[in-house]
Amino acid sequence: MAIQSLKTIRSWFRTGLKPTQLQFWDTWDSFRHKSEKIPAKDIEGIDTLFGDKIIPSGQFLIFKVDPNTADELEIGDSVIGYCENNFLCEATYYGGDTSLMSSFSKANNSVGRIISFNPNDQYYGELITYELNDEVLLRSLSCGVYNGIYIVYKRPGESDFSRGWFNGTYPKTSITWLDLPSGTIIKLIDTIGGLDDSEEFIISK
C-alpha cells in the first residue's frame, strides 16, 4: 500500500468506475486520521516558526499595547525575557535602559494603600486599616493623622469624590460617621507632597 496523489485517487473514482481493493486501501493510506498526531518534522516551515521564538538574553518578546504602534519597544508595552539575570514573565516597560530592572518597575509614588475594611469593629464600628508611603511618615503627626493626607469617597451613583477626614490614630481610622453604603469607592490622597492617589478600594458590607 502506498500514498497516492489526489489526481491519481480522483481517477479511480470517476463516475461509473469501481476502484480495486488495493486502490481503495491506498486512498485511505494517503490521508491522516483526525486523531492521528502529526510529527513536527512533517510540518512545513516549523523550523522557521520555532526560530523566531528563540529570544537571546537581553532581548525581549514584545507585546504592543494600544495606542503604541511603532516597530520597537515603547513605554507601556509588555515584554517577556531576561533582564539582569531575572526572568520577566510579563513586565511593563516604563522607560529607560532596557538592560536595567528599574526600567520594568513602577516607581512607588503612591501616597499609600487601604489594606482592609472592617464593618463591625468592636470599638470603632466601621474601621479602615491603611498604610502610608515612607515619605509621608516623615511628616508631622497631628491627632494621629499625618499632615496633608485625606480620605476621599464616592458613593454609588455619584460622579465626584468628596473629602473626609480621619477619626483615629494611624494606621487605623473610623469612618462610621460617613455612613458609606456598599459599593462606595474610597482612596487616600496627598494634598501637599504631590504623591499619587492610592488605588481605589470598594467598600463591601
Give per-residue pLDDT as tens, 115-160. 999 999 988 899 999 999 988 999 999 888 999 999 999 999 999 9
Strands, sheet with 78-83, edge to edge from the N-terminal-most edge strand: 60-63, 78-83, 86-92
Amino acid 14: pLDDT: 78
Q: Are 112 and 188 in contact (CB under 8 A)?
A: yes
Query: What is the arithmetic mean of pLDDT over 78-90?
Result: 87
Contacts of 157 (CB under 8 A, 6+ apart): none
Residues 125 and 65 in one domain: no
Of 64, 79, 104, which residue sits at a domain end?
Answer: 104
Residues 7 and 84 in one domain: no
Q: Are 111 and 96 in contact (CB under 8 A)?
A: no
User: Does any domain span residue 39?
Assistant: no
Amino acid 130: pLDDT: 95
Residues 191 and 127 in one domain: yes
Of 69, 86, 104, which residue sits at a domain end?
Answer: 104
User: Does any domain span residue 36?
Assistant: no
Bond before 67 cis per omega within 30 degrees: yes
Range of the domain at 85: 47-104
Residues 98 and 142 in one domain: no
Q: 175 in helix, strand or coil?
A: coil
Structurally, the chain folds into a number of domains equal to 3
User: Does any domain span residue 79?
Assistant: yes
Give per-residue pLDDT as tens, 8-53. 777 877 767 777 888 777 777 777 777 878 777 777 776 665 655 6
Instruction: Quote the mean pLDDT of the chain.
Output: 86
pLDDT surpasses 80 at 81: yes
User: Does any domain span residue 180?
Assistant: yes
Residues 4 and 60 in one domain: no
Give the CATH number, domain containing residue 142: 2.60.40
Q: Which helix (H) or strand (E) holds 174?
A: strand 172-174
Residues 89 and 139 in one domain: no
Alpha helices (H) in the chain, listed in sequence order: 6-12, 21-29, 46-51
Q: How confident is the model at residue 175 (pLDDT cuts 50, 70, 90)?
A: very high
Q: Looking at the whole model, is its pTM more than 0.95?
A: no
Distance CA 122, CA 2 (A): 83
Residues 177 and 143 in one domain: yes
Residues 61 and 95 in one domain: yes
Residues 125 and 95 in one domain: no
Neighbours of 120 (CB within 10 A): 9
User: Does any domain span residue 74?
Assistant: yes
Residues 169 and 97 in one domain: no
| Nearest partner of 118 among 38, 42, 203, 23, judged by Cα | 203
Give per-residue pLDDT as tens, 47-56. 665 655 677 7
Amino acid 12: pLDDT: 77
Residues 130 and 194 in one domain: yes
Question: Grid cell 481517477 — which residue?
Answer: 11
> What is the share, in percent, of the chain residues with pLDDT greater than 90?
39
User: Does any domain span residue 42?
Assistant: no
